[in-house]
Amino acid sequence: MILDKEQLRANLDEVIWNIEEARITVSEHHIVKLVTVAKYTEIENIATLYELGQRAFGENQVQQLKERMTALEELPLEWHMIGSLQKNKINNLIDLRPALMQSLDSLELALELNKKLLAKEQNMNCLLQINAAKEESKSGVSAAQAVDIYQEIKETCPQINLKGVMTIGAHSENTKLIQQSFETTQSIYEKLEKEGAAICSMGMSSDYELAIKCGSNLVRVGSALFK
């Protein structure tokens, strides 16, 4: 559905207002980046959001990322890969040169990605995805192993620039459980700050305010912007 500019402006203003309110509860110095999850929306809406000042957009699939980047190549957008990456799509993703790959979900994937980046003489900014909620349906490394795996990727994968961590909040109506998954990830992030981690990506349309209050500094919001 193509939304008119005023509707998108109202939605964006509301999300930014909510981010501001949550951010201030942490600290007035706590800066939060908004990445628009574009997967369910039309290209026209992305272009309108750009006009309204939004710059960072994320896609869940490499093919869709490619189509969007090509269709909007005249706009200086910052593109993020936020969905699971299949090994057979690694080269395609490298060629797209996303600003950030948020879903590096295993050491095995990191080694494969590093190998192919090396062959193409390229680097990629990535976040380590943590399955903090311990849910079978989600990919990511376990909270218990996250720090060790992060350090191992740093040591063994020189083509990958690890920038921090990402998690998806617990899939639950229980706010306590969601909060717990964010707090778990935040405590891992704090341990990794001495390793240079600067991004803690937590929070989506349904829970981004809670995520910010738990320390997130990057939120991935889709449906709240396109309603």
The token pair at 97 is 């040169």
pLDDT at 40: 80
Rounded distance between C-alpha atoms, residue 78 and residue 49, angstroms: 13
Residue 136 confidence (pLDDT)? 85
pLDDT in tens, 33-57: 999 999 889 999 999 999 999 999 9
% residues pLDDT > 90 (the chain): 97
Average pLDDT over residues 200-225: 98
Binned at pLDDT 50, 70 and 90, residue 204 comes out as: very high
Each residue of 130-139: pLDDT tens digit? 999 988 888 9
**What pLDDT digit, counting tens, does each position of 101-120 carry?**
999 999 999 999 999 999 99
pLDDT score recorded for residue 157:
98
Which range has the top average pLDDT, 137-141, 153-157, 171-175? Answer: 153-157
CB 195 within 8 A of CB 161: no
Distance CA 164, CA 212 (A): 15
**CA–CA dist 157, 224 (Å, integer):** 36
pLDDT above 70 covers a percentage of the chain that reads 100
Q: What is the pLDDT of residue 135?
A: 85
5-20+30-221 in CATH: which number? 3.20.20.10
Stated length of the chain: 227
Average pLDDT over residues 14-26: 98
Domain ranges of the chain: 5-20+30-221
User: How many CB atoms lie under 10 A from the CB of residue 99?
Assistant: 16
pLDDT at position 172: 92
Phi, psi of 127, rounded to the nearest 5 degrees: -115, 145
What are the tens digits of pLDDT across the range 52-62? Answer: 999 999 999 99
- Give the pLDDT confidence score for residue 186 in this predicted structure: 98
Residue type, 195: E
Say whether pLDDT at 99 is over 90.
yes
Asked if 167 and 142 touch (Cβ cutoff 8 Å), the reply is no
Cβ contact 193:227 at 8 Å = no
Q: What b/e string do you get for 196-220 counting C-beta neighbours within 10 Å, with b at 16 or more?
A: ebebbbbbbbebbbbbbbbbbbbbb
**Whether 35 contacts 58, CB under 8 Å:** yes
pLDDT tops 90 at residue 173? yes
d(CA 6, CA 85): 35
Res. 18 pLDDT band, cuts 50 70 90: very high
